[in-house]
Amino acid sequence: MERVKLENVKKSYDKQTEVLRDINVEIEPGEFFVLVGPSGCGKSTMLRVIAGLEEISAGSLIFGEEIVNDIHPSKRGITMVFQNYALYPHMTVAENIGFGLQVKKLGKQLRKEKIEEVAAMLGLSDYLSRKPRQLSGGQRQRVALARAIVNEQPICLMDEPLSNLDAKLRAHMRSELRRLQKKLGFTMIYVTHDQVEAMTMGDRMMILDKGIAQQIGSPMDIYNYPENTFVATFIGSPPMNLKKAIVQAGAPAIRLSSTITLSVEAELLEKLPDSVIFGIRPEHLVQPVEGSKIYKAPVVNVALLGNETLISLDLDGEEWICKWGGQWHYKVGQSLEFSINEEEVCLFDPETEKIIQKGMKG
**What confidence tier does 1 reach under pLDDT thresholds 50, 70, 90?**
low
**Pairing verdict, β 187-192 and 155-159:** parallel
Percent of the chain at pLDDT above 70?
Answer: 99
Q: Tell me the C-alpha distance between 362 and 358, whole Å.
A: 10
Give the domain CATH number at 219. Answer: 3.40.50.300
d(CA 327, CA 150): 48
Boundary residue ending a domain (179, 202, 233)? 233
Q: Are residues 81 and 191 in the same domain?
A: yes
**How much is the average pLDDT of 283-288?**
96
Confidence (pTM): 0.90
| Residue 60: predicted pLDDT | 96
Q: Are residues 161 and 268 in the same domain?
A: no
Torsional class of 52: left (φ above 0), alpha (ψ -120 to 50), beta (otherwise): left
What does the pLDDT average to over 52-57? Answer: 93
| Same domain (yes/no): 25, 83 | yes
Q: What is the pLDDT averaged over residues 104-108?
A: 81
Q: What is the pLDDT of residue 120?
A: 87
Identify the domain containing residue 55 by its residue range.
4-233
Looking at the predicted structure, is the pLDDT value of residue 212 above 70? yes
pLDDT value of position 335: 95
Q: CATH code at 249? A: 2.40.50.140
DSSP 54: S
Using alpha carbons only, what angle is made at residue 154 by residues 209 and 65, rounded to the nearest 5 degrees? 80
Residue count of the chain: 362
Residue 273 in this model has a pLDDT that exceeds 90: yes
Residues 337/295, Cβ–Cβ less than 8 Å: yes
Taking the C-alpha atoms of residue 19 and residue 94, their distance in angstroms, rounded to an integer, is: 38
Instruction: Evaluate whether 185 touches 179 at the Cβ level (below 8 Å).
Output: no
Note whether 147 and 67 are same-domain residues: yes
**Mean pLDDT, residues 34-49:** 94
| The pLDDT of residue 242 is above 70 | yes
If asked whether residues 159 and 213 sit together in one domain, one would say yes
| E strand intervals along 86-211 | 155-159, 187-192, 204-209
Does residue 281 sit in the same domain as residue 167? Answer: no
**Do residues 136 and 36 share a domain?**
yes
Give how far Cα 262 sits from Cα of 178, 287, 291, 340, 360, Å.
Answer: 43, 17, 15, 9, 9
| Residues 142 and 90 both lie in one domain | yes
pLDDT band for position 225 (cuts 50, 70, 90): very high
Task: Examine the pLDDT at 190 and tell me if it is beyond 70.
Answer: yes
> Are 188 and 123 part of one and the same domain?
yes
Residue 204 and residue 287 share a domain: no
pLDDT-derived band of residue 152, with 50, 70 and 90 as boundaries? confident
Residues 112, 192 within the same domain: yes
pLDDT at 145 > cutoff 70: yes
Q: What is the pLDDT of residue 150?
A: 86
Structure confidence at residue 49 as a pLDDT band (50, 70, 90): very high
Does the structure show a pLDDT above 80 at 221? yes
Q: Is the pLDDT of residue 16 over 80?
A: no
Q: Domain boundary at 177, 206, 233, which? A: 233
Domain total of the chain: 2
Same domain flag for 239 and 350: yes
Instruction: Tell me what the pLDDT averaged over the chain comes to.
Output: 91
Decide which of 233, 249, 281 is a domain's last residue: 233
Three-state SS at 343: helix
End-to-end CA distance of the chain: 44
Is 60 in a helix, a strand, or coil?
Answer: strand
User: Could you tell me which of 249, 241, 248, 266 has the C-alpha nearest to residue 348?
Assistant: 241
